[in-house]
Structure 1
Amino acid sequence: MNKFLSTVAALALGVSILGTHSLPAQAETPPNQLVVAISMQNILTLDPAGITGRDAVLVLSSVYDSLLVADPADRTKFIPRLAESWEVAPDGNSITFKLREGVNFASGNPFTAEDVAYSFKRLMTLNLAQASFLKTRGFNADNADASFQVIDDYTFKLNLPQPDDPNFVLMTISQAGPGSIIDSAQVKENEQNGDWGAAWLKTNSAGSGAYKLNQWRSNENVLLDRNGEYWGEEPAMRRILIRHLPESQSQRLQLERGDIDVAYALLAADLQALEKMEGVEVETTPGAGFYYLAVSMKDERFANPKVREALRYLIDYEGLNKSIMPFYGIPHQRPLSSGVKGLLPDPGYKLDVERAKKLLAEAGYPDGMEVTLRALSEPPFINIATAMQATLAQAGIKANLITGSGDQIYGAMRERKFELIIGRGGGGQHLHPDSNLRAIAYNPDNSDEASLSNYQAWRTSFFDEKLNSMIIDALLEKNHEQQAKKYEEIQVYYEDMIPAIQPFSEVVDTAAYRTDVKGLVVNPWITRFETVTKDR
C-alpha cells in the first residue's frame, strides 16, 4: 500500500473509532481532506435555530447558505449567496431579494423563496437561541407571516416590523444561525409532533452549502462531506473532519506531526512554540465580543451596586492580559468593539484590593462572602477562573469553581441559575455599536418567561428601561456625528450603572495551521471551508 493510501486508511480508521483520541501517527493528512481540531464542548446542537457560540458557527457556515454573507476583507460589505441581489425600499421599511435560480439543496430538492420564508418563520416560532438576533429587530412569531413574504418562486420580501437601519438587518441575516436557509421539504418530512424538525435537525443537516453533515458525535467529531448538489464551484476538500481535541498540547503535537491541518484551541505557550516551527503558520485576527466577569443580579448580593463595583476592582486586568490572554484577547474594558463608531477610551480600571474591601464593607459584607464561579473547563477560561479565584480571595471572597462543558456552564447562565461566571460574548459579529449593545446591555423583557437567552443582559437579569431607550434612539439617529455622540453617552451611562458584566479583554481569534493549507479564513464567524486548498 502506497503512502497516500496508507494515510487515507489511517484517517478512515480514526473516524471509525470516533476520532476523539489520538489518531494513528501520520506523515500528513490526505491532500483532499481537511482535519480541524477544536474544542466542541459548547456545541450542543447542529440545528441552525438553536446553536450557540462560534464553534457551532464554524461547522454550520459550510453546511448552510444564507442570502448573503459578510466580505472577509471588509465585514461592512456583503457578498451575494442565495440572493443574487437585493434592494432596500426608499422608505427603508422593506428589503426585496432576487434569489438565485437553479439551486438545489443537498437532498436534491429545489431552492425557492418558500424555503427562505419557512426558515425565518421556523426560527421565530421555535424561539431558540438564534431567534434573539431577529427579535432585537422586532421580528416575532406573531408577525412572521407579514414579515417574511414570498412574492414568487425567486423573489422574497423582508418587511421590517419596526423602524430600523436596513443595513444592520442585512448584517444580521448574513450570519450563520439567524440567516441559515434550510430545506423546508426535507425538514417537514422529518417533523415529530409539530416540532418543525427540531429533534431531527439536532444531528442532521438540510442545507445547500458546499458540504453536508455526515455525522456528529457530541464531544467527539463532526464529519462533513462534499455536497454533490452544491450550486457553486466544487470545493477542493472532499471531506472536512472536525475533531474534539480540547488539550492544547495534543493539538500542538498532532499539528507538528501533520496528523491535523488546523488547530483552534491552543494555549499561548504552544502557540509561541509553533510560531518558531517550520511548516506551521500562526495567525491572529480580530474576533467578536469580549471576555468578561458576569454576575447574576437575581442574587441579592450582586443586585447591590457596591458589591458589583468591588468585583470590578478585583479583576487583575493587566496580569490577565499579559499572562493568559495573548493569542486569545487584547486589553479592553468598554462594551463596544474596537473600531466601531463612538468608542471611548478604556476607563483604566486596575486591581485594587483595598478599595474592593472597603466597598464590600459598605455593602454589608466586611468578612467577604462565599460564591460559585463558573467557567468552561478549557483554555483560557479555566486559567482565567483560577487567577480570578486568587484575586477574589484577597478581599475575602471564597470562590468555589464549577467547571465543565458548555451545557453545564453556559446552560446555567441561559437558565439564569448562576452566581459568577467567566464568559465570552457581547456581540461584535458585525462592526456596528448596536451589535454589541443588543447583546451585552439591551434587555427588553426581564421576565423569566421571556427566555431571551441570546441576550447576556437578560441572562444576568440586568435591566434598565432608560438604557434600552438610549440604544434604540442611537440606532435610528441618521446624523453620523450625532449618532457617534449618542453612543459615547451610552457608554458613560452604562459605566456609571456598574453593570452586571465587566469586560476585561476583547476577543481575538488565533489558529495555527500547516503552511500548505491555503485560503483559510481564521475568523470562525465567517470561515467557509469551501475556500480551502492544500498545496501538496
Structure 2
Amino acid sequence: MSTSKKSPLIGWLFHRPAPGICPDLVFNSPQAVSFSRATNRSAAKLAVSHMTYDLDAAIPDEQPAKAGLAKGFEVNLDYTAEPPFADIAQAIQANLALIGIGLCMNPGGSRQVVSRTRARQHDLAQVQWGSDYFDPNTNAEAFLINTDNSDDARNRTSPGRANWSIPEISARNLAARKEPDAAKRAAMYEALQREGQQTSPFVMLFQLIENSVTHAAVTCLDTGPMGDRYRYAGITKV
C-alpha cells in the first residue's frame, strides 16, 4: 500500500507505530511480509521480520479523537480491479470503516493505477513490487531512496511518487550499497528497514507465492528463486 505525503490525514492514518491499523491482518495472512520476497534468498537474509502494526480494538474509541478526527474523514484508494486486489481493497475498506474512515474506491486497470501514482495523483494506492536482482539494494532503492523530490525528477522511485523527501535516508542507503564489510552492511540495512517501517508512506500487506505443478513422471524442473530464473533445459520425462 502506497500513501501520499501531501495529505496530513493520510499521514495520521498510516505513519504511526503500534498500536495502529493493521492491513497485514485483513485476511489474517501468514504470508504478510516486510521489505523482501522470500524467494529472493540474498535479500531475504537481510530482511527483518518484525510486524510494526497491530489491530487494536481500542482504536475506534481512542485514536481518531486524540488526533482531532473524531468525526472521521474520507480518502480515495486506487487499486487494480481484478482478483486478488479488489478483494483486498474491500477488506481494507471494512477495516478502516471501524474507526470512521470512509474509503472511496477507485478501481482501474493496473497501468491506470501506476500512472496515477507516478503523477502523484493518489491518496492511497494498492500496488505490487517484486525484487529484480540478488541484493538488498533492489528493495532499498525502490522504497528508501529519493534523491530528487521535484515534480520533474527523471528517476522517480516509490518515495518520489509518494512525495516523500528523504535526503538523509537516501544518503545512508547509498552508503550501504557501497559498504564492503558484509556484517556492517547487514546492520545498516536492518536499521534502515526499521526506520522505514516507522516513517515511510508504505505498508507491506502480502507476499505472492507462486506454485509450479508437474506430472509425477516429469523431473528436474528448476523454478529458481526469482521469476526470470526458471530453467527448463534439464527437464526429463520417464
After TM superposition, the score normalised by the length of structure 1 is: 0.39
Checking the alignment, whether the CA contact within 8 Å between 1:511 and 1:522 is kept in structure 2 is no
- 1:335 equivalent among 20, 35, 38: 35
**Matching residue of 1:298:** 6
State the match for 2:138 in structure 1. Answer: 435
Q: Secondary structure at the match of 1:463?
A: coil
1:309 aligns with 2:34: no
Between the aligned partners of 1:522 and 1:344, the Cα distance in structure 2 is 23
**Cα displacement string for residues 43-62 of structure 1 (whole angstroms, at most 9, x for unaligned residues):** xxxxxxxxxxxxxxxxxxxx
Give the SS at the match of 2:27.
helix
- Where does residue 106 of structure 2 map in the other structure? 402
The one-letter code matched in structure 1 to 2:21 is L
8 Å CA contact 1:413, 1:460 repeated in 2:
yes
The one-letter code matched in structure 2 to 1:294 is: S
- Cα drift, residue 451 of structure 1: 4.5
Tell me the equivalent position of 2:227: 525
Any idea what SS the aligned residue of 1:371 has? strand
Alignment-mate amino acid for residue 407 of structure 1 = R
1:19 alignment counterpart: none
**Structure 2, unpaired ranges of 5+:** none
1:448 Cα offset (Å): 1.4
Q: Secondary structure at the match of 1:423?
A: coil
Q: d(CA) in 2 for partners of 1:366 and 1:352?
A: 17
RMSD, aligned CA? 3.0
Q: Deviations over 1:303-335 (max 9, x none)?
A: x3x33236973234234243xx8xxxx121x32
Map 1:340-355 → 2, pairs under 5 A:
340=43, 341-347=45-51, 349-355=53-59
- 3-state SS of 1:424 partner: coil
Q: 2: CA distance between counterparts of 1:311 and 1:345? A: 15
Structure 2 SS opposite 1:418: coil
* Residue aligning to 2:209: 508
Aligned length: 232
Q: Which runs of 5+ in 1 are unaligned?
A: 1-292
User: Who wins on radius of gyration, i.e. which is larger?
Assistant: 1
Is the CA contact 2:26–2:92 (under 8 Å) kept in the aligned structure 1? no
* Aligned residue among 61, 66, 86 for 1:382: 86
Secondary structure, counterpart of 1:372 in structure 2: strand
Q: How does 1:183-198 map to 2 (within 5 A)?
A: none
Distance 1:526 1:352, change over 3 A: same
Q: How big is the shift at 1:380?
A: 1.5
Structure 1 segment 2-151 matched on structure 2, within 5 A: none
- Aligned position for 2:188: 486
Q: Which amino acid aligns with 1:475?
A: R
Amino acid at match of 2:35: P
Normalising by structure 2, we get a TM-score of: 0.82
Residue number among 372, 375, 392 corresponding to 2:76 in the alignment: 372
More strand as a share of residues: 1
CA distance in 2: counterparts of 1:482 and 1:311, whole angstroms: 26
The whole-number CA distance in structure 1 between the counterparts of 2:28 and 2:16 is 20
* Structure-2 residue corresponding to 1:457: 159
Give % identity.
22
Q: Which residue type is aligned with residue 501 of structure 1?
A: F
Tell me the distance in 1 between the aligned counterparts of 2:127 and 2:17: 15
CA distance in 2, matches of 1:315, 1:433: 25
Report the equivalent of 1:59. Answer: none
Which has the bigger relative contact order, CA under 8 A and spacing at least 6? 2
Classify 1:385/1:514 alpha carbon distance in 2 versus 1 (closer, same or farther; 3 Å).
farther
CA distance in 2, matches of 1:433, 1:446: 23
Mapped contact 1:314–1:353 kept (Cα < 8 A): no
Quickly say closer, same or farther: Cα 1:309–1:485, change in 2 above 3 A.
same
